[in-house]
Amino acid sequence: AQRVTQPEKLLSVFKGAPVELKCNYSYSGSPELFWYVQYSRQRLQLLLRHISRESIKGFTADLNKGETSFHLKKPFAQEEDSAMYYCALRRSSYKLIFGSGTRLLVRP
Amino acid sequence: DVKVTQSSRYLVKRTGEKVFLECVQDMDHENMFWYRQDPGLGLRLIYFSYDVKMKEKGDIPEGYSVSREKKERFSLILESASTNQTSMYLCASSSELQGEQFFGPGTRLTVL
């Protein structure tokens, strides 16, 4: 079955600490994965996708097919990174399946 | 700037009422989606549409229906609202080629 698992509901770190938001997936084909972010009182928006291999706002994510993971990382967290983060898997030409989300709280 | 708009930010309805949630996109996207967003459950797909008048059930279609008469507009209908349909409803759209979905601001529906 196609599934996206985000094991942490809440991740709390101090400003300047490294951050890793975990995402594991199950998919039989060649996966295409995304991270979406929702800041307080803002709409859900794309943060990054694995095929572009880019760094957005200091965040990176590497697809590890062996471990079926797509963890989101940032070396030094900032307070403005506090948000809800969703990992998503493209399961057809247009449908996505989302994980349950992780709330990141960056404390001053 | 790309835009997906939803007709209401907040809506309060009574049990048994018929509820319409409207979504409009101005990007000429073929695909449109309705999701529920609930704490601890993430986003769950209710219905999606890949063309005018075309629709497919998502993962949780029970109690909902949809309508897409024009390419830019996708409506979610609760035929007889129930308290367990109290939730945040998100609309999204995407093009045929791009996987990225663009989201509306959401409608927080409360059914009393």
If pLDDT is split at 50, 70 and 90, which confidence band does A88 have? very high
Nearest-Cα distance to chain B for A3, in Å, is 12
Q: How far is residue A97's CA from residue A34's CA, in Å, rounded to a whole number?
A: 10
Q: Nearest CA of chain B to the CA of A108: how many Å?
A: 25
B61–A contact, CB cutoff 8 A: no
Q: For residue B112, what pLDDT is reported?
A: 96
**pLDDT band at A94; cut points 50, 70, 90:** confident
Which residue in A74, A76, A79, A52 sits closest to A63, CA to CA?
A52
CB of B46 within 8 A of CB of B60?
A: yes
Q: Give residue B1's pLDDT band: very low, low, confident or very high (50, 70, 90).
A: low
Please choose, from the candidates B84, B72, B87, the residue with its C-alpha nearest in 3D space to the C-alpha of residue B42: B87
- Of the residues A93, A95, A97, the best mutation for testing chain B's interface (the one with the most B CB atoms within 10 Å of its CB) is A95
B100 pLDDT above the threshold of 70: yes
Indicate yes or no: CB of B90 within 8 angstroms of CB of A100: no
The pLDDT of residue B96: 78
From residue B68, alpha-carbon distances to A43, A66, A80, B92 in Å are 23, 41, 38, 13
pLDDT-above-90 percentage for chain B: 88
Q: Note the pLDDT tens digit of each residue in A15-73.
A: 999 999 999 999 887 888 999 999 999 999 999 988 777 888 999 998 888 999 999 99
Structure tokens at B3: 């835009």
Residue A67 is classified by DSSP as: T
Q: What is the pLDDT of residue A1?
A: 78
Banded model confidence at residue B98, pLDDT cuts 50, 70, 90 = confident
pLDDT of residue A19: 97
**Residue A34 burial by Cβ neighbours in a 10 Å radius (0-12, 13-18, 19+):** buried
In the chain, the amino acid numbered A20 is E
Q: If we measure between CA atoms, which residue out of A26, A28, A27, A21 comes closest to residue A7? A: A21
CA–CA distance, B94 with A69 (Å, rounded to integer): 25
pLDDT of the residue at A62: 86
Measure CB to CB from residue B42 to each of A46, A86, A90 and give the nearest one: A86
Say if residue B66's pLDDT is above 90: yes
Q: Where does chain B show beta strands of DSSP type E?
A: 4-6, 10-13, 19-25, 31-38, 42-51, 54-57, 64-70, 73-78, 87-94, 102-103, 107-111
pLDDT computed for residue A100 by the predictor: 94
| Mean pLDDT, chain B, whole residue set | 94
